[in-house]
Amino acid sequence: MTASSSPHGLRQRKAADDGLGDSAQVRGESVQSEKSRQAHEEVVWGQTPDGEVFRVPTTHDVLTGLFHPRYPKSHLDILNLSLLALQLVLFYILPRPTAKVFFLFYFVFWRAAYDAGLGWVLTKQSKRKWMIREIQRLGWLDEKRNPAARNWIRAQLQGKMGKDYSFDELPLEYNTWLLFRQLVDVILLNDFLAYCMFAFTCFRVPEGLSFPVHVMRWIGGIALVIFNLWVKTEAHNVVKDYGWYWGDVFFQRGALVFDGVFELAPHPMYSVGYAGYYGLSLIVGSYPVLYVSLAAHAAQFAFLVLFENPHIERMYGKRKPIALRKPISASESKKIKKMNSSCQLPSSAEDDPDQLSTPAATEGESATDTETETECEGKAPGIHRSYRPTQPILLESTVSQHDLHHKYFRRDVVIFHNIDLLRSSDAMLALLLAYVVVGSSLPVLSYHATLALHFAHACAWCMFHSFGLGLLLRAQSKSKYLVRHFLKHYHYPSRDHGDGAVQEAFTNWKALYNISLCMTYTSLMSLAWKSYTAPVAWFEGDALLCHTLGALLIALHVWAAMESFEVLGVFGWFYGDFFMEDFPAHLEYTGIFRYLNNPELMSGASFLGLALISSSKLVGMLAVIRFVSYWWFLQTVENPHMRKLYGDSLRKDAGFVKVIKSVASKNVRILESRAGRHVPEIKRVAKEVKGTFDKVFEETADVVEEFLARSKPRISEVMQETKVLLQQSRERLVITRVARDLSSYDTTKYKISIVPSQSGDKRFHIGESIKVNWQAPARHSHRDWIGMYKVGANKSTLVTKISSVGLWVPVHDEEWDQDEPVEDTSRIAPLGKKPEVGTVSFEGSTLPWTIGQYEVRYHHDGKYNVLSLDGPFEVYVNKPASLDLTSVRDCLARIVPLCLDSDPDLIPLSCGGVREPADTDSDVTRDVDDFSFWSERQAKRICCVIKQAFGVEYAPDVVMADANLTALANRILVSKQLLVL
């Protein structure tokens, strides 16, 4: 990578060598030739973060400056040379076993100093300019505050630089970089030499290898070392000292251009640039050296991932919005139009019935963002049109990358990512993997252990079929759980009126039900087969009778199942009335249902039949479990749903029951006629027994009702407290830090007040910026901070005992390093007694995205001592007066821009967004309701607010797939209509 010309003209022409050292001086050329070369040398300019532009002096490479006798040596150079010489001396005087251990730990120390130490320092400098601030705080380069340190540093730097270097004229950032560079030289050289010394102490000649193998080992090792040196040299020629010593962490000298050796491999200095490790391992023939090399190389990759890549993204990466509808190229557009010439393309995102799935690229704002958030490249050009709220806004016949992506990709499973166990294909994948893993990991089992395993397997499937699927069906009956799930997580075109979600929910339910049904009976037969033993004498005892009765029971089950399917059809077999309300369904008591209300109970007959055939108690227990679980399913799931659908038209007694009751009542009358004079006594006893049972039942019911009535408030309170504890579990797992120096502060002079909203009161729409005025004494801690909490979350007004969960802002941002206060902060307090005042603003991720009552608290010195508080204030969300397209869209037009931080590059044109320059020159019409995102976090905000405003849930993928106000409004209306219970 090289530094190219920046937009600000920091470089004037093609890069030349500014960092490899003065080769003319090394070869002993005359002073006149040196001046002549410098006269033709290019001028390189740098720029500090504050905008100061300066000429970058010539620097010399470390080996020339350190080892060439004509160059003066600084104190740090002398220290470096001493440490290097000490290693050589110890290598020769220490015994080999001792030297191995010493140089191993010595190398680990310098490697940790490089990867952990430099990585930590450079990360803080990259994010917060930490080294610059520390030098300013300590006054090392301030002539008035610390002249001795400044003069010493000046002497160290001037001796290392050429005549074009002026310590006093160059900015603080450049001088700090030069000082940091000398520290890096100490670490890098000692790290390299310590590794070499460790490798040489482990040298051996491997036994058992032929001479040609030894020759190849040496040739390969030397080749790798030479290749390593070549890669490092070429990399230095490309990046110069500016890139070699991470100069862009301190000042800018142009953009990065990847060429030269950087086209050989990714990150060559950290990847193939460490080939010498493995070459030296081959030469010395030592496995310890090889494994230490692997560990050191892994540490270098950690340095790359944790510091280098995030820094490059912060410095040179450009955020790209998600969900921009970027038209495809003209040739591809013509091809697609030709393919779709027979039909009119939909006019907006929600009108395309094939649009599904989510974007799948990554943005690089930071390391965390790169790993967890998605984005899609490009801007969608368009021209501004007036918005008519009574009609949908239509797009022209164009196809975008965004729409094509959602057409062909739909939350697809990649390994285990996006797996959804309510999607039948994913459930079968998980089931298959579970069987393979469990089956391959089982040891050799005894006969009884095998039977127990088969019983547990069959019992698990039996319970899942009745209880697992039963609970799923009951949730579908009560709240349309399965349909809600697919509506929430998957994108469907809103023009299908929700049919897509219903169809997919029912399709996946059918597959899950069929898998469970098959596995239930397969596991049952496996258990019966494992426990079956063929009788020795068929005609002795009851063996033949058990087999005959068992076969008849299995045949009875098969007949009942076939008769049931003939009457129910596919619709009833798969419980279609739980899903499809528009399907014509009516009660027909024909076939087997003429005699039985629930012939499915006969499914237990096969369990009993196999129990008789196998003579197994385990199969018999499974038959009992099957009857009990299916009785629960009928009483808890199916019968309540049938009563809900058909009401009074649902008959109470089937034909078989009616006949039995008729015969029973007839026999009762016959018994009464024959009982004669004993009838009154029998009736009296029967009434007494019945009355006793009724009384016991009533008293028990009264006691239970009284207990529930009394315990209901307490149970509700416990449930509410448990819910709050679960919600705040992460908040309460904090160690409250309390300051001990409050006695030196006048707490009465701390005040905060919430600035009223635009409506003039303390009611803020969710996502609206909240400003807080603060006042503190002149000598207050600059690490003070203000947090926002729900009213009642903190019982104490003196100490905050829960975390703000990110809802906080520092009073002075420069005194904080992300979430941690800068240590040992000292500042010069202003003279006088006039208090310091200011205003902080809660915006974006520091805002609460849940409606409710909140308060703000002013905290002292990075701790949790409360010095002032204000509140309550309300966070609310506007809800539409009526559920029509115009009202819902107008409500979204307020919500969406706030969730997108009112960024004009993201919000819809109809809400005040701005066009890209390319939009005005494009022939493609852009929908003025389209919007985009910087990160998935903003889509999550929209989902959260929609749930609170409209009572429907969506996954971020669904919102990013729509990315249009009208499309999202249509989706909400369809969801509300579909989920009406």
Asked if the model's pLDDT at residue 522 lies above 80, the reply is yes
Q: Is residue 718 part of a domain?
A: no
858 lies in the same domain as 887: no
Which domain-ending residue is among 596, 626, 650? Answer: 650
- pLDDT-based confidence at residue 370 (cuts at 50, 70, 90): very low
**pLDDT for the residue 396:** 42
339 lies in the same domain as 280: no
Q: Give yes or no for a contact between 448 and 517, defined as CB atoms under 8 angstroms apart.
A: no
User: What is the rounded distance in angstroms from the CA atom of residue 807 to the CA atom of residue 846?
Assistant: 4
Q: Is residue 656 part of a domain?
A: no
User: What is the rounded distance in angstroms from the CA atom of residue 683 to the CA atom of residue 785?
Assistant: 84
Cα–Cα separations (whole angstroms), residue 949 to 110, 876, 932 = 57, 9, 21
- pLDDT-based confidence at residue 924 (cuts at 50, 70, 90): low
User: What is the rounded distance in angstroms from the CA atom of residue 110 to the CA atom of residue 184?
Assistant: 11
Q: Give yes or no for a contact between 307 and 119, defined as CB atoms under 8 angstroms apart.
A: yes
Q: What percent of the chain has pLDDT over 70?
A: 74
Least confident of 352-361, 590-599, 848-857: 352-361
**pLDDT for the residue 917:** 58
Which domain-ending residue is among 596, 629, 650? Answer: 650
User: CB-based contacts of 14: which residues, under 8 Å, 6+ apart?
Assistant: 42
**pLDDT for the residue 595:** 66
374 lies in the same domain as 458: no
Percent of the chain that is helix, strand, coil (3-state, to 5): 55, 10, 35
Q: How many domains does the chain have?
A: 4
**pLDDT for the residue 648:** 65
Identity of the amino acid at 249 = V
Q: Give yes or no for a contact between 601 and 630, defined as CB atoms under 8 angstroms apart.
A: yes
Q: Is residue 575 part of a domain?
A: yes
Q: Which CATH number belongs to the domain containing residue 766 in this structure?
A: 2.60.40.2840
Q: What percent of the chain has pLDDT over 90?
A: 26
User: CB-based contacts of 938: which residues, under 8 Å, 6+ apart?
Assistant: 899, 900, 901, 906
- pLDDT-based confidence at residue 345 (cuts at 50, 70, 90): very low
- Concatenated DSSP letters for 856-897? EEEESTTS-BEEEEEEEEEEE----SS-SHHHHHHHHHHHHH
Tokens matching residue 496: 């299908």
**pLDDT for the residue 162:** 78
Which domain-ending residue is among 606, 627, 650? Answer: 650
760 lies in the same domain as 902: no
263 lies in the same domain as 376: no
- Concatenated DSSP letters for 52-116? -EEEPPP---HHHHHH-TTS---HHHHHHHHHHHHHHHHHHHS-HHHHHHHHHHHHHHHHHIIII
Q: What is the pLDDT of residues 38-94, one digit of tens each?
A: 444 567 888 898 888 998 888 877 777 778 777 788 888 889 899 999 999 999 999
Tokens matching residue 201: 């102490």
User: What is the rounded distance in angstroms from the CA atom of residue 62 to the CA atom of residue 60?
Assistant: 6
Q: What is the pLDDT of residues 962-973, one digit of tens each?
A: 888 998 998 898
Asked if the model's pLDDT at residue 365 lies above 60, the reply is no
**pLDDT for the residue 260:** 81
Q: Give yes or no for a contact between 292 and 932, defined as CB atoms under 8 angstroms apart.
A: no
User: What is the rounded distance in angstroms from the CA atom of residue 545 to the CA atom of residue 223?
Assistant: 84
Asked if the model's pLDDT at residue 483 lies above 80, the reply is yes
* Sign of the CA dihedral running 652, 655, 660, 665: positive
Give the residue-averaged pLDDT of 601-609.
81
Give the residue-averaged pLDDT of 587-604.
70
User: What is the rounded distance in angstroms from the CA atom of residue 912 to the CA atom of residue 767?
Assistant: 17
Q: Which of 878, 932, 925 is nearest to 905 (CA)?
A: 932
Residue with tokens 């039996």: 462
Q: Exposed, middle or buried, 495 (CB in 10 Å: 0-12/13-18/19+)?
A: middle
**pLDDT for the residue 796:** 87
Q: What is the pLDDT of residues 729-773, one digit of tens each?
A: 544 444 457 777 677 777 888 999 999 988 888 999 999 999 999
Give the residue-averaged pLDDT of 346-351.
39
Q: Is residue 371 part of a domain?
A: yes
Asked if the model's pLDDT at residue 805 lies above 70, the reply is yes
230 lies in the same domain as 306: yes
Q: Is residue 241 part of a domain?
A: yes
Q: Which of 669, 617, 608 is nearest to 448 (CA)?
A: 617
Other CB atoms within a 10 A radius of the CB of residue 781 amount to 22
Tokens matching residue 342: 């027979």
Least confident of 1-5, 147-151, 380-384, 768-772: 380-384
Give the residue-averaged pLDDT of 722-732.
53
Q: Which of 840, 871, 674, 818 is nearest to 770 (CA)?
A: 840
**pLDDT for the residue 34:** 44
Most confident of 86-90, 666-670, 817-821: 86-90
Pairing of strands 808-810, 785-790: antiparallel
Asked if the model's pLDDT at residue 830 lies above 80, the reply is no
Q: Is residue 411 part of a domain?
A: no
Asked if the model's pLDDT at residue 800 lies above 50, the reply is yes
Q: What is the pLDDT of residues 29-49, one digit of tens each?
A: 433 444 444 444 567 888 898
Write out the H or E segment, with its range, that includes residue 809.
Answer: strand 808-810
Question: What secondary structure, in 3-state letters, does 901-927 show?
Answer: CCCCCCCCHHHCCCCCHHHCCCCCCCC
**pLDDT for the residue 835:** 85
**pLDDT for the residue 433:** 85
Give the residue-averaged pLDDT of 637-646.
82
Identity of the amino acid at 480 = K
Asked if the model's pLDDT at residue 657 lies above 70, the reply is no
Q: What is the pLDDT of residues 221-245, one digit of tens each?
A: 999 999 999 999 998 888 888 889 9
Asked if the model's pLDDT at residue 383 lies above 50, the reply is no
Q: Give yes or no for a contact between 348 and 392, defined as CB atoms under 8 angstroms apart.
A: yes
Most confident of 156-170, 276-290, 340-354, 814-828: 276-290
**pLDDT for the residue 346:** 40
Q: Is residue 671 part of a domain?
A: no
864 lies in the same domain as 910: no
Cα–Cα separations (whole angstroms), residue 332 to 162, 380, 528 = 58, 16, 61
580 lies in the same domain as 616: yes
Domain that holds residue 769: 737-824+831-876
Asked if the model's pLDDT at residue 375 lies above 80, the reply is no
**Torsion angle in degrees (nearest 10) through CA of 848, 854, 855, 857:** -30
User: What is the rounded distance in angstroms from the CA atom of residue 478 to the CA atom of residue 438?
Assistant: 36
Per-residue DSSP letter, 773: E
Output phi, psi for 326, to 5 deg: -95, 115
Asked if the model's pLDDT at residue 101 lies above 90, the reply is yes
**pLDDT for the residue 343:** 42
Q: What is the pLDDT of residues 403-439, one digit of tens each?
A: 777 677 777 777 778 888 888 888 888 888 888 888 7
**pLDDT for the residue 918:** 54
- pLDDT-based confidence at residue 841 (cuts at 50, 70, 90): very high
**pLDDT for the residue 329:** 54
Most confident of 412-416, 585-589, 670-674: 412-416
**pLDDT for the residue 846:** 92
Pairing of strands 866-876, 763-765: parallel
User: What is the rounded distance in angstroms from the CA atom of residue 84 to the CA atom of residue 186?
Assistant: 9
Identity of the amino acid at 38 = Q
pTM: 0.69
527 lies in the same domain as 394: no
Write out the H or E segment, with its range, that includes residue 837.
Answer: strand 836-842
Asked if the model's pLDDT at residue 293 lies above 90, the reply is yes
Long-range contacts of 261-265 (CB under 8 A, 24+ apart): 261/231, 261/234, 261/235, 262/1, 262/235, 262/238, 264/231
Q: What angle do CA 246, 249, 254 make, to 5 degrees?
A: 85
Asked if the model's pLDDT at residue 338 lies above 60, the reply is no
Q: Which of 438, 441, 449, 431 is nearest to 618 (CA)?
A: 449
**pLDDT for the residue 186:** 93
Q: Give yes or no for a contact between 118 and 184, defined as CB atoms under 8 angstroms apart.
A: yes
Asked if the model's pLDDT at residue 357 lies above 50, the reply is no
- Concatenated DSSP letters for 553-597? HHHHHHHHHHHHHHHHHHHHHTTGGGT-SSS-------GGGGT-S
Mean pLDDT (the chain) is: 79
Give the residue-averaged pLDDT of 99-103.
94
User: What is the rounded distance in angstroms from the CA atom of residue 823 to the CA atom of residue 817?
Assistant: 9
Tokens matching residue 151: 């003069």
487 lies in the same domain as 549: yes
> What is the rounded end-to-end Cα distance, in angstroms, of the chain?
62
- pLDDT-based confidence at residue 656 (cuts at 50, 70, 90): low
User: What is the rounded distance in angstroms from the CA atom of residue 722 to the CA atom of residue 303?
Assistant: 43
Q: Give yes or no for a contact between 57 and 170, defined as CB atoms under 8 angstroms apart.
A: yes
**pLDDT for the residue 740:** 72
**pLDDT for the residue 393:** 40
Identity of the amino acid at 261 = V
Q: Is residue 19 part of a domain?
A: yes
**Does residue 496 or residue 41 have the better pLDDT?**
496
145 lies in the same domain as 87: yes
Asked if the model's pLDDT at residue 666 lies above 80, the reply is no
Q: What is the pLDDT of residues 856-871, one digit of tens each?
A: 999 988 888 899 999 8
User: What is the rounded distance in angstroms from the CA atom of residue 505 to the CA atom of residue 489?
Assistant: 12
917 lies in the same domain as 779: no
Give the residue-averaged pLDDT of 122-150.
88
**Does residue 173 or residue 981 have the better pLDDT?**
173
User: What is the rounded distance in angstroms from the CA atom of residue 702 to the CA atom of residue 707?
Assistant: 8
Asked if the model's pLDDT at residue 361 lies above 70, the reply is no
- pLDDT-based confidence at residue 364 (cuts at 50, 70, 90): very low
